[in-house]
A = this chain, B = another copy of it.
Amino acid sequence: MNFDQQIKQKAAAIEAVLKKYIPQEEGYQRTIMAAMNYSLLAGGKRLRPMLMSETYELFGGREEGIIEPFMAAIEMIHTYSLVHDDLPAMDNDEYRRGRKTTHVVYGEAMGILAGDGLLNYAFETAFQAFDRITGLEAGEQSGLYQKAAKALQVLGKKAGIYGMIGGQVIDMEGCGKAVGRERLDHMYQLKTGGLIEASMMVGAILAGATEEEVLKIEQIAGDVGLAFQIKDDILDVTGTLKTLGKPVHSDEKNEKATYVTLLGLEAANNEVRGISERAITTFGSLGKRNDFLLDLIKMLVNREY
């Protein structure tokens, strides 16, 4: 099976996992469950849960009942951030992936509540991992509780004001202003890198990786996020509507500072190359093998679409 077939098969498997954990549409409050599921099941590449489960496997993790709730949780967090990003007071987007956005279909108030519901439900879902742990033998429990606790702490931090939300704030406040390289780095690190770091670190922690290994995974994931984002800046200039499926030169129009406006196209390309090589070298230094994960990382940093 080649990489394209593998990634499709794995995405389908994650879709099935996700469907196991979404809320039932029932009760007087069923509209919010419908709005949450509308946004959760709108497609998407499921990259974050994929990175999580592949990193879990890399470190020898084998407990579906523990990793799956976290896989569903990270996708719920990613989804809530999109639902709130699309709101009129934020980016005011009416379409996403060819479908009307949640607040357009369900109204603005429900868009806010559905996002809140998804964020809260993400943690509720992750907490389901505790049920699996409680079902195990007493001797195994303490170590696993500690791993799940650490995983929750990382998930929380990387999703919040010291992670993704923090990055959104910096992005929002920096829009249209001349910003320096340090601020831009920090914004990319948090906004794009936050959930990628959470995905890979949670996988590593739950599988029992050492602190040193988790640190390396954080560096790899951070580099993946950064390279991915710089590539995004480059494609906004060099891509076409056809290859990207979205308008190009939007950064220029929005007077946004990007790696390309700061460094120029060639230097930005060199940055991507350097960061990608660093990530792959760090990956090699782990001395563990998961060829699909390595290919996935390469795909993310080298994408042309």
Contact of A116 among B23, B119, B127, B190 (CB under 8 A): B119
Oligomeric state, in copies: 2
Q: How far is the CB of A86 from chain B (nearest CB, A)?
A: 11
Q: Is the CB of B165 within 8 A of A117?
A: yes
Closest to A156 in B: B124
Q: How far is the CB of A100 from chain B (nearest CB, A)?
A: 17
Q: Is A70 an interface residue (CB 8 A)?
A: no
Given contacts A116-B119, A117-B165, A161-B120, contact A170 B89 (CB under 8 A): no
5 shortest interchain CB distances as A-B pairs: A145-B145, A89-B108, A130-B149, A124-B156, A29-B166
| Max count, chain B CB within 10 A of own CB: residue among A111, A113, A169 | A169
Closest to A128 in B: B153
Q: Which of A5-13, A134-142, A273-281 contacts B (4 or more CB under 8 A)?
A: A134-142
Contact of A165 among B84, B113, B152, B187 (CB under 8 A): B113
Q: Which residues of A contact B (CB under 8 A)?
A: 23, 27-29, 31-33, 36, 80, 84, 87-90, 108-113, 115-117, 119-121, 123-124, 127, 130, 133-134, 138, 141-142, 145-146, 148-150, 152-153, 156-157, 159-162, 165-170, 172-173, 183, 186-187, 190
Q: Is the CB of B112 within 8 A of A160?
A: no
What B residues does A117 contact at CB under 8 A?
160-161, 165
Q: How far is the CB of A81 from chain B (nearest CB, A)?
A: 8
Q: How far is the CB of A238 from chain B (nearest CB, A)?
A: 28
Q: Is the CB of A109 within 8 A of B89?
A: yes
Closest to A119 in B: B119
What B residues does A142 contact at CB under 8 A?
138, 141-142, 145
CA separation between A43 and B111, bound complex, in Å?
29
Q: Is the CB of A123 within 8 A of B165?
A: no
Given contacts A120-B159, A124-B153, contact A112 B113 (CB under 8 A): no
Q: How far is the CB of A163 from chain B (nearest CB, A)?
A: 9
CA separation between A112 and B84, bound complex, in Å?
8
Contact of A153 among B130, B172, B183 (CB under 8 A): B130
Contact of A149 among B119, B134, B153, B167 (CB under 8 A): B134
Q: Is the CB of A156 within 8 A of B127?
A: yes
Contact of A124 among B111, B124, B157, B166 (CB under 8 A): B157
